[in-house]
Structure 1
């Protein structure tokens, strides 16, 4: 049955059911539409609505495509294959002009190194519902860390800062693990935290960051890294997310906390700057390939998951003890102040005033240093002086 292209967009649950009725995974459906798998996942979850030509193509494929397998009736449906059972492929740009170019990575081995590999449930061989919090955290860390370290290296240009940013992001995730575990995209949560730490402006004041970082060995990689590091941090982050990780424009805008037009403007200006220095990077797929090659040249080895969890717990214990010590010190200082503070107030004697020509009476006032010394001397010498003569009655 053929429908009009103006058919209203089905609700998110219906979109997922329609795609599954065609026996297509999110990656396969994304290739037919010409977008990334993350975009299809966002559309099905209701986070972002499809729009533009891609949105029209998406609605048309949902409503007009013929299912490859008929739905069984009167019996139990056979279990469908998991959506992540397809091997990962290099991330392709969502731009129509870039679809005709097929990248051929030289150092990435046919797989994007700026994005975690897609794994199936059979490959994991574990039931997610039976995992302990530590096991779930270790699985997320092992899954995301290799690609995330390379992404933060492109943002900062420093190897030690890239490893530190990822470790601090996962330490923060372990501190807030109930919140992260319930998040729709835990990897995106950790990625945003790592990017914030890597792009923090106060790193320039640290002593070890004042020393220059050894540049990459290849001249082309050095030039590309130099151009990236001269971009403003928001532009650099937008380029890494859009051209490196493969997010679409609305997701890139949401992660950079900007509007979609602002993210598009940043991306356009960044592309102009890159193309001015390196004209071959005007092709989005070539830019993605070069970013992947630049990130893959550095062998960045992060810490093991138990070390990150132990570091997070040590940091939490340290700050807890510091807060307790500060509270006790504040209570002690307050108690000492209350104990030594005077309980009454003695107002000073006001100076006298002349009234009707009568001079004021001299009121006792504070003694000078010389008078106090004389008083002390007299008090000390009085017992040793002559006896006082007292008049006797007759």
Structure 2
């Protein structure tokens, strides 16, 4: 009894993982199998079951993609033939995700150097937390979320190297599409790239953008309308997806090698660890100095001075009044006749 194509197929999530492991888009798989992109998306979501000649071709394609991956790590850090070391598993994830992720991040920012920095930062953080990332149900999504957050951070605008614009794409059509993307709010831009560029479904897009499914659908609709208003021929979602893939593919963004990323991340960890230790030692030293020089007994504060009441104001310099002149003359004439005064007499 011949098995049907559906019985030979892996689960829906594994279908998507195998496609991504071969660096294929949904449109490329659809072209090879002879169906539409929407059909491939439905197969990967489990909404429909492949059948007929298309299903057989799809099963053969997935089997071919699964053979090279049998000896290397899967999306959860496991392998088909032998266990890999953490470094080997990380390198496999990096080789699988980094090139496409750099191109996607370029669509978000329009800056090539920033896209490379975002990918490098995301994988350095993934290497620091590798036990957590290796056990995650979607390590590629974990790294993608970190890279997108870093790339869309508003603090980059204050960096001197990112204040001047980068050269735009050479093709006028690519320039128009990139300008339309960059004019979207960051949340709309991210939703559009995830859904129409990466190929996530709506619930996955909502989860990665930390929004509800209706909110993600609203952002996607408004983002498509804004792009179509500037580039009318991209009103068709299928054409928009094709152009997003083409625009990302025209930029040859080469992130550094996985060994460089791991080494740089480890050195950065050592630097910050030493800086934290030095800061802690400085705090301890300043605390000890304060305790050493602080007084050991209570010294009451000096009471504030109080004004003495009843003191006449000092007389101002100037001519004497008539009363003062009379008092002066009286004192001069009564200087030797008064009983209260003694006049020295020469002996």
Q: How high is the TM-score relative to the length of structure 1?
A: 0.63
Instruction: Specify whether residues 20 and 185 from structure 1 end up closer, same or farther in structure 2 by C-alpha distance, changes over 3 A only.
Output: farther
Q: Distance in 2 between matches of 1:353 and 1:160?
A: 70
Q: Distance in 1 between matches of 2:256 and 2:157?
A: 24
Say whether residues 1:188 and 2:141 are aligned partners.
yes
Say whether residues 1:264 and 2:239 are aligned partners.
no
Instruction: Specify whether residues 123 and 351 from structure 1 end up closer, same or farther in structure 2 by C-alpha distance, changes over 3 A only.
Output: closer
**Structure 1 contact 173–190 (Cα < 8 Å) conserved:** yes
2:284 aligned to 313, 320, 331, which one? 331
**How many matched pairs?**
272
1:3 is matched with none
1:173 is matched with 126
**Structure 1 contact 156–198 (Cα < 8 Å) conserved:** yes
**Structure 1 contact 275–282 (Cα < 8 Å) conserved:** yes
**Structure 1 contact 149–163 (Cα < 8 Å) conserved:** yes
**Structure 1 contact 154–225 (Cα < 8 Å) conserved:** yes
2:45 aligned to 39, 50, 59, which one? 39
- Unmatched 5+ residue regions in structure 2? 17-34, 53-57, 74-78, 311-347
| Superposition deviation, residue 121 in structure 1 | 3.9
Q: CA RMSD in A?
A: 3.1
1:255 aligned to 202, 208, 233, which one? 208
Q: Which has the higher contact order (CA 8 A, sep 6+)?
A: 1
Q: Distance in 1 between matches of 2:225 and 2:147?
A: 27
- The structure where helix makes up a greater share of residues is 2
**Structure 1 contact 85–120 (Cα < 8 Å) conserved:** no
Instruction: Specify whether residues 292 and 343 from structure 1 end up closer, same or farther in structure 2 by C-alpha distance, changes over 3 A only.
Output: same
1:377 is matched with none
1:120 aligned to 56, 66, 71, which one? 66
Say whether residues 1:303 and 2:253 are aligned partners.
no
Q: Distance in 1 between matches of 2:210 and 2:287?
A: 44
Q: Distance in 2 between matches of 1:329 and 1:214?
A: 46
Q: Distance in 1 between matches of 2:59 and 2:89?
A: 18
Higher Rg of the two aligned structures: 2
Q: What are the residue-to-residue correspondences of 1:138-153 with 2, within 5 Å? A: 138-153=91-106
**Structure 2 contact 9–59 (Cα < 8 Å) conserved:** no
Q: Distance in 1 between matches of 2:301 and 2:187?
A: 64
Q: How high is the TM-score relative to the length of structure 2?
A: 0.71
Say whether residues 1:230 and 2:183 are aligned partners.
yes
Cα deviations by residue, 1:274-331 (Å, 9 ceiling, x for unpaired): 1111111111110011111111111111101100000110111011101100100000
| Superposition deviation, residue 346 in structure 1 | 2.0
Instruction: Specify whether residues 38 and 258 from structure 1 end up closer, same or farther in structure 2 by C-alpha distance, changes over 3 A only.
Output: farther
3-state SS in 1 of match to 2:61? coil
1:86 aligned to 57, 61, 70, which one? 61
